[in-house]
Amino acid sequence: MKKISLGLTVLVLICSLSACKELKDAQNAFQNEKGNTDNGKNEALNNLMGALQGDKDSYEDLPPASDLEAYNNYVDLSNFMTGDVEESLDRYFNGVAASGDFSPIEGGSYITTTFSNHDYEFLDEVESQADLGTSYKEMDEHALTMIPTLRALMEVLDEAGNYGNQKGYLDDNYAKGQEIHSRFVPAVNAYDDERLPYLNSLRAILQEQQARDLERFEKEGYTVRYQMLKLTMLKSEIMNAIYKQEDISDENVLSLDVTEIRPKYEEMAAVLAEFAVNFKDEAELEKEGFESYKSGQLSFFNNAITEFKVQTQALLSRVDEQRAYSEAEKLTLSTTEGSLERLIKCGSDVTSRYNDVIG
């Protein structure tokens, strides 16, 4: 049958709490120095960014991106930031303490990973899109401000990755690592200042688009698409209710306020019970324009959202019972029932599986 083009937008992957906390901790650790070293920081950033601004003449004659293309590019950049970039930062902080002074972590592992040429080309593409202008004016402004700081940070992380991969610290007793860190501090501070405005602006646009899509699916009688999007939105609402409690982590998870989470969980459970039946209805899938091969991807989505529901239930039970992690569980939080770390991983999987279905 002919495929129905719905013009759906991909979703933003949720930001890892652990990675965000690493960056926030680093920002706090660097904050005292930041006020006294603005001139030095700007000079360091200028040195790092000097040859990275690109040549606008090479793209000035290109047409502006379509609304959908522009939005999806901004989403892809968000996913890159909350995925690859935060993973790289996490690797850096695994080997170097989050402090203004360079301090290798005993027993840690110095970063050995780098970014690809494709990553930098993608930044250039999104930056040129923003410079040409799209219908998302606020996003254009945030992108043009944020991307140079991201590119500069990536350059420093690449230098650190090459240094670590070559085990240069064994040759010079971390002398080069210390010099890299002196540039990493202003670079990560500059990026962190611009990161959240970009992500928050994109999140607001996403929520508006999701609301429109949800209304359209309901009006057209697309039950499976409606329920799939509704479940994904409820997942995001649950995670946002956790993120709003900025000081909450697995270390103090029993202090989590679940007042806002519980009704969203109950609604999710009710919708999921219906979706688990409806997504197997071949006649309904054909009516809604799903290709036959999408049935497998829908099944993967169902598995992912079911696991998220189960882990949310386990988290609520843990908080209700005030059941602390055992010493063994503390060592394996990524697989521990009812841990924030496991819930975050499940949430990311839901978004990925949703994008697979509509992609």
Predicted pLDDT at 65 = 59
- pTM score, two decimals? 0.66
DSSP secondary structure letter of residue 83: I
**Residue recorded with tokens 């004016």:** 137
Measured CA to CA, the distance from residue 207 to residue 11 in angstroms comes to 10
Return the amino acid letter for 179. Answer: E
Evaluate whether 186 touches 40 at the Cβ level (below 8 Å).
yes
Whose tokens are 């999408």? That residue is 294
Per-residue pLDDT of the chain (359 residues; tens, 9 = 90+): 222 333 344 455 443 333 344 444 454 555 444 444 344 333 333 333 332 233 333 333 344 557 888 988 998 999 899 889 988 998 999 999 988 999 999 999 999 999 999 999 999 999 999 999 999 999 999 999 999 999 999 999 999 999 999 999 999 999 999 999 999 999 999 999 999 899 989 988 888 888 988 999 999 999 999 999 999 999 999 998 998 898 899 999 999 999 999 999 999 999 999 999 999 999 999 999 999 999 999 999 999 999 999 999 999 999 999 999 999 999 999 999 999 999 999 998 998 899 889 87
Q: Which strand (E) or helix (H) includes residue 181?
A: helix 175-220
Q: Is 83 exposed, middle or buried (0-12, 13-18, 19+ CB in 10 A)?
A: middle
Tell which residue, 276, 273, 253, 254, has the closest CA to residue 265: 273
CA–CA dist 228, 279 (Å, integer): 9
The per-residue pLDDT for 108 is 92
Residues in the chain, total: 359
Tokens 């209700």 identify what position? Answer: 320
Concatenated DSSP letters of 21-33 = HHHHHHHHHHHHH
77: buried, middle or exposed (CB in 10 Å: 19+, 13-18, 0-12)?
buried
Q: How far apart are CA 152 and CA 200, in angstroms?
A: 21
Q: What is the pLDDT of residue 209?
A: 83
Backbone angles phi, psi at 104, to 5 degrees: -60, 140
The reported pLDDT for the residue numbered 22 is 45
- Indicate left, alpha or beta for 2 from its phi (over 0: left) and psi (-120 to 50: alpha): beta
CA dihedral 40, 42, 44, 46 (to 10 degrees): -150
Taking alpha carbons only, the member of 217, 80, 52, 78 closest to residue 136 is 78
Q: Give, in order, the Cα–Cα distances in Å from 81 to each of 123, 168, 261, 295, 347.
A: 11, 28, 26, 31, 17
Please name each of the domains of the chain with its CATH number: 17-204 (no CATH), 221-358 (1.20.120)
pLDDT at residue 208, rounded to an integer? 86
**Long-range contacts formed by 341-344: CB under 8 A, 24+ apart:** 341/17, 341/18, 341/250, 342/311, 343/239, 343/242, 343/308, 343/311, 343/312, 343/315, 344/14, 344/16, 344/17, 344/18, 344/239
Q: What is the pLDDT of residue 178?
A: 97
Using CA atoms in the order 191, 142, 207, 215, what is the torsion angle rounded to 10 degrees? -150
